């Protein structure tokens, strides 16, 4: 499982010199808390924009240069808003959902929509800072909430016989998948396996097609991690 990092520890060479985030949450205490958590992060995490509703973020003309969006799901007692999450993801933002909700089906739905990580608000500073840093790279961050959701049996793609439909992956596809989950870039995977980045992309495309064919699409890396854990291809401790 991904582990929270010491905010003062040396940074990965693949991380930017500074990470700029936007917070979308309708509680001032959450804005203040995240700002305090990020103040000592390494590399620095700057709160570039603050919003109290997703519509404000989507209407903003100053959100350029934002590396990561930290998004709550529920505003003014409304139901969790996956529509806004989908729109923000489709516009190219890397989104960390930061919510009090921990229902496995909701967590997996957010990953399917495009969130890169899902954190419970009870998971605190270490997990949030580590998740933000991971979101700026190609590395998945597996929070305890995500790990629990990924190991539940309440997932889509279950046949009429009650058995989860799993695609058949070749040994090479499994190797590519695990190496990609464990590294920050496809170039490092290619170097480790002595193949090209193009071959890595071909394998990943085939894996995604196989999951889509059994009714369990995995459009993002986080969603693919979820599928692989559900199918026993990897364990949380592998990540």
pLDDT tens digits for 174-216?
Answer: 999 999 998 878 999 999 999 999 999 999 999 999 998 888 8
Cβ-based neighbours of 157, under 8 Å, separated by 6 or more? 164, 165, 214, 215, 216
What distance in Å separates the CA atoms of residue 212 and residue 144, rounded to the nearest whole number? 26
Q: Which of 2-11, 12-21, 76-85, 194-203 has the lowest mean pLDDT?
A: 2-11
Give the global pTM.
Answer: 0.79
What confidence score (pLDDT) does residue 32 get? Answer: 95
Two tokens, residue 102: 């921990």
- Residue 20, classed as helix, strand or coil, is strand
What distance in Å separates the CA atoms of residue 215 and residue 164, rounded to the nearest whole number? 10
Q: Which of residues 159 and 57 earns the better pLDDT score?
A: 57
Contact, 119 vs 127, CB < 8 A?
A: yes
pLDDT band at 238 (very low <50, low <70, confident <90, very high): confident
Q: Measured in whole angstroms, how far is the alpha carbon of residue 225 from the centre of its chain?
A: 9
- Domains for the chain: give ranges and CATH numbers: 19-150 (3.40.50.2300), 171-238 (1.10.10)
Two tokens, residue 156: 């889509």
Q: What mean pLDDT comes out for the span 59-73? A: 90
Output the average pLDDT for the chain.
Answer: 86
């Amino acid at each position: 499982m991904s582990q929270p990092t010491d905010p003062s520890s040396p940074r990965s060479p693949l991380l930017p010199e500074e990470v700029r985030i936007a917070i979308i949450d309708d509680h001032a205490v959450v804005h203040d808390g995240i700002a305090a958590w990020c103040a000592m992060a390494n590399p620095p995490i700057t709160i570039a924009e603050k919003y109290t509703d997703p519509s404000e973020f989507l209407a903003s003309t100053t959100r350029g240069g934002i590396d990561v969006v930290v998004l709550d799901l529920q505003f003014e007692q409304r139901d969790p808003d996956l529509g806004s999450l989908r729109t923000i993801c489709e516009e190219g933002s890397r989104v960390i959902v930061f919510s009090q909700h921990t229902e496995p089906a909701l967590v997996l739905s957010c990953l399917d929509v495009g969130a890169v990580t899902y954190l419970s608000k009870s998971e605190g500073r270490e997990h949030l800072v580590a998740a933000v840093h991971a979101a700026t790279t190609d590395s998945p961050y597996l929070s305890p909430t995500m790990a629990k959701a990924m190991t539940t049996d309440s997932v889509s793609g279950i046949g009429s016989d009650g058995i989860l439909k799993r695609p058949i992956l070749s040994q090479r596809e499994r190797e590519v998948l695990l190496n990609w989950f464990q590294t920050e870039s496809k170039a490092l995977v290619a170097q480790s396996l002595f193949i090209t980045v193009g071959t890595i992309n071909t394998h990943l495309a085939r894996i995604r097609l196989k999951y889509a064919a059994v009714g369990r699409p995995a459009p993002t890396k986080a969603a693919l991690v979820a599928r692989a854990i559900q199918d026993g291809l990897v364990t949380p401790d592998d990540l």
